[in-house]
Amino acid sequence: MKRTLALILALALMLCVFAGCAAKQTPAADAAADAPASTETTDTPAAETPAEAKDVVIALCIPLSGASADAGRMAQDGAELAVNYINEHGGVAALGGAQLKLSVYDTTSDADQAKNVVERAITEDGVVAVIGCGTSALTLPSIPACEKAQIPLVTYSNSADLTNQGYQYIFSVSPTAVNVGSATPEFLSYLNNDAGYSFKKVAIIHEDSDNGNSVAEGYVSKAETYGLEIVYNESFQANLTDASSIATAIKNSGADVIMASCNVNDNMLLVNAMNAINFAPMWLGVSCWASFGEDMGEYANGMVANSNWNYKSSTILNNPEYVAITESFDTAYAYPMAEQSGSAFACVKLIADALELTGTYDTVALRDAISVNTFESMMQPGQIKFDENGINTLATVGVCQWQDGECVCVWPDDLAGAAFVNPADYIK
């Protein structure tokens, strides 16, 4: 009996050894080295590829109801397109062709709920990463859970509070909110000094939120540098019901240009309030969302928006693969790929590319790969590289303009997909 038992144990041991050898025969490190997604790799070690591939679960925690629902749905569309695209192209090769799977949660546009669903995704779904949470206010309370679980949180939110507190597992693919705000006065300087325009008196209007305040900070920090006079600077509580008093106050300030930072609905309410009192200043900071162009119609023409991502930028237009992706999005969802959609696509692709480098489901290794490598990306200007705080140091703000129903990138020159049009040319 003992002899039989010993034989069984020996056979079991041999099978384990053979299984280990078989696993080692899969060249995970070679696959990682050959991965086209990264233009710069480090000595991050690749782990053994699992003997059997399993789904790679990524949590997508975004607002699908509440005030930010429209933005959340656009992000979901972009993330789903990315998952389908990667899976159709073989999945994660370094993990034996593992398929990506989204676990989608609705944050309900509520910070407490965002925190709760992120915690649930971590504890229940076996996720390797979290994408979320739609806005900076929703993302911020969700970070500690990811830090504790050592799960990378990849976001397109960009307020300073996300990346200035020493967190190790937060990564923002977008330009910082301050940089987004700073781009607007820089663009005005270009118009005034290089393009023959004269926009000097500035009104700053922004929602009282982490992102709105950060963008306004960027506006203010650069305005004086570029010879601009701030004649109005006020915040308001998001989700306005009446913008008439704000419109009147800005008109009375003598402003000839408005720098705005607010959600798309408030944007439209403010613009309509200006139109109602026959006040038509140069607008900067309106929305790139397709719904803005559709709802505003011809009144959108000439208006300018800052954008973290734009499908009519050189980053997209000069890359046939990216053009095909944006066209497939339009076909699948019946609207042009929006900033939230493109950014969410980039988040998914970043995670998949980092997995190719690690060849493991280990989340700490995934975090390390994200933090030290340079990745090809649809984000402007075509690559992503993070600093020690999780800030994308290569992220570039594009200034876009509504032209005949399309929001196209017009500045800076190396990103522009179209030339700037004088807003006065659209006034009939």
Q: DSSP string spanning 238-259?
A: SS-S--HHHHHHHHHTT-SEEE
Is 254:246 a contact under the CB 8 Å cutoff? Answer: no
Same domain flag for 258 and 320: no
CA dihedral 360, 361, 366, 369 (to 10 degrees): 10
Reported confidence tier of residue 3, pLDDT bands at 50, 70, 90 = very low
27 lies in a domain?
no
State pLDDT tens for residues 294-305. 888 888 999 998
118 lies in a domain?
yes
363-372 vs 339-358: helix axis angle to the nearest 10? 110
Measured CA to CA, the distance from residue 116 to residue 145 in angstroms comes to 9
Q: What letter represents residue 91's amino acid?
A: G
Phi-psi region of 342 (alpha: psi -120 to 50; beta: other; left: phi over 0): alpha
Same domain flag for 169 and 202: no
The two tokens of residue 86 are 């990667």
pLDDT for 107:
98
171 lies in a domain?
yes
Place of tokens 């009939």: 428
More confident residue, 67 or 366: 366
pLDDT exceeds cutoff 90 at 361: yes
Place of tokens 């053979």: 18
Reported confidence tier of residue 121, pLDDT bands at 50, 70, 90 = very high
The two tokens of residue 199 are 């926009």
Cα–Cα nearest to 402, from 327, 275, 281, 310: 310
pLDDT for 410:
96
Measured CA to CA, the distance from residue 79 to residue 108 in angstroms comes to 18
Reported confidence tier of residue 52, pLDDT bands at 50, 70, 90 = low
pLDDT for 221:
86
Is 292:265 a contact under the CB 8 Å cutoff? Answer: no
Lowest pLDDT segment from 59-63, 160-164, 387-391: 160-164
Number of residues assigned to the chain = 428
Same domain flag for 70 and 117: yes
State pLDDT tens for residues 268-308. 899 889 889 988 888 888 888 888 888 888 889 999 988 99
Same domain flag for 354 and 419: no
Provide the domain count of the chain.
Answer: 2
Q: What is the CATH number of the domain that holds 84?
A: 3.40.50.2300
Q: In sequence order, what are the beta bridge partners of 38?
A: 375
Place of tokens 């910082």: 176
18 lies in a domain?
no
State pLDDT tens for residues 209-233. 888 888 888 889 888 888 899 999 9
30 lies in a domain?
no
What is the secondary structure of 84-111 as a DSSP string? Answer: HHHHHTTSBGGGTSBPEEEEEEE-TT-H
State pLDDT tens for residues 167-199. 999 999 999 988 988 888 899 899 999 999 988
Q: Is 161 exposed, middle or buried (0-12, 13-18, 19+ CB in 10 A)?
A: middle
Q: What letter represents residue 320's amino acid?
A: P
Q: What is the extent of the structural domain holding 379?
A: 38-175+314-396
Same domain flag for 298 and 217: yes
Same domain flag for 368 and 422: no
Is 425:207 a contact under the CB 8 Å cutoff? Answer: no
Lowest pLDDT segment from 17-31, 64-78, 98-112: 17-31
The two tokens of residue 163 are 């990346």
Based on its alpha-carbon atoms, the radius of gyration of the chain, rounded to whole angstroms, reads 24
CA dihedral 340, 368, 34, 27 (to 10 degrees): -130
State pLDDT tens for residues 329-352. 999 999 999 999 999 999 999 999
Same domain flag for 43 and 115: yes
Is 395:380 a contact under the CB 8 Å cutoff? Answer: yes
pLDDT for 421:
92
Phi-psi region of 90 (alpha: psi -120 to 50; beta: other; left: phi over 0): left
pLDDT exceeds cutoff 50 at 35: no
pLDDT for 287:
84
Same domain flag for 47 and 168: yes
Q: What letter represents residue 214's amino acid?
A: S
Would you call 282 helix, strand, or coil by DSSP? strand
Q: In sequence order, what are the beta bridge partners of 36?
A: none
pLDDT exceeds cutoff 50 at 39: no
DSSP code at position 297: G
95 lies in a domain?
yes
More confident residue, 15 or 221: 221
State pLDDT tens for residues 125-148. 999 999 999 999 999 999 999 999
Mean pLDDT of the chain: 87
328 lies in a domain?
yes
Measured CA to CA, the distance from residue 358 to residue 48 in angstroms comes to 9
Measured CA to CA, the distance from residue 45 to residue 343 in angstroms comes to 28
Is 204:244 a contact under the CB 8 Å cutoff? Answer: no
State pLDDT tens for residues 58-85. 999 999 999 899 999 999 999 999 999 9
